[in-house]
Amino acid sequence: MQHEAGVDIEAHNSYGAYRWVEGAAAHSDEVVAEEVPVALVYNGISHAVMLATPQDLEEFALGFSLSECIVGRAAEILDLEIIEQANGIEVHMALSAERAHALKQHRRTLAGRTGCGLCGTESLDQLARRATTVKSSAVLQEGALPRALAELQEVQHLFRATGAVHAAAWCDFDGTVKLVREDVGRHNALDKLIGSLAAQRTGFHEGFVLMTSRASYEIVQKAAAVGIAVVAAVSAPTGMAIRVAIESGVTLIGFVRGERHCVYSHPERVH
C-alpha cells in the first residue's frame, strides 16, 4: 500500500479556562484533546465521516477498512492519501477492482432503504449475518489482566495530558502491553490498533485487546471481524455485546479492575 501523508494537526492543544477550587477562580491553560471530522473516501466516494483524534489516521483508515470488512487484507488498499480540508480531513483510499466492485454493490443496496444506523447495515437481518466465528485455543496466563491494566495505565500519554480519550491496547497472553492507540472514540482507538497491527503484519491470534472503555457491540464485532479471540474492558459490556461475543466465539471480559474481572463468554480461555 502506497501512501502520502499531508496533515500535521496536533492531537491536543492548550485553551484558556477558569479553574474553580473551593469557591475561588483562577485563570489556567488547560490541555484539551482535539477531535476533527475524518471522511473515509474509497475510490472517490465518501463512505463514512467519523469524529476522531487527528493522529495515526493511516492506521485508523486501514483498521476501519478491515474491521468493517471493506477489505480483507491491507494489500487490497492500493494507495492512501491524507488531505487536510478547511472543515476536516479526508483519507482517500484506492481499492482493488474486486473490493471496489463489492463496495459499490453494497452501497447500491442501501439506496432508498431505512437503515438501523449501525455502520452501513441496511437491515436487522444483515446485522445478524455479520457475526464472524473466531476459533482460537489461546489461553490467558494467570495474572495477565492485572499486569496489562497496570502497564496500560503507565503509557496512556494522551489521556494523561487531557483526561479525554480512550485507549486500546494489544497485549501478549502473559499481559505484556505491546502496543497502544488512543482516540476520543473507543471504536476509533480499536480501529487504529487494528490498522497498526495489520501494517506490522502482526497476527490477530497472537494476543488480546484491552479497552479502557465499556465493551459495546461494535467493539466485539470489530474484534471478531479480524479474528481477535479475547476482548477485555475496564467497564461493563452491553447485552448485545455479550450475545455477539457468544455467537462469534469471542471471549468477552468486563470490569477489569486490579485482581477482579468478570468473564461473560467462552471462559475456557481465562485461568
Catalytic residue annotation: 116
Three-class DSSP category at 90: strand
Set of cell numbers at residue 129: 449475518
CA distance 95 to 65: 10
CA distance 168 to 126: 27
Three-class DSSP category at 58: helix
Contacts of 93 (CB under 8 A, 6+ apart): 40, 41, 42, 43, 61, 65, 77, 79, 80
Residue for grid cell 477489569: 256
Edge-first strand listing for the sheet containing 88-95: 2-6, 77-85, 88-95, 36-42, 45-52
Instruction: Select from 212, 203, 202 the least CA-distant residue to 181.
Output: 212
CA distance 71 to 98: 10
Counting runs of H as helices and runs of E as strands, what totals does the chain give?
8, 13
Instruction: Select from 117, 215, 119 the least CA-distant residue to 166.
Output: 215
For 114-136, the DSSP string reads ---SSTT---HHHHHHT------
Output the CA–CA distances (angstroms, integers) from residue 145 to 148, 173, 256, in the order listed.
Answer: 5, 9, 7
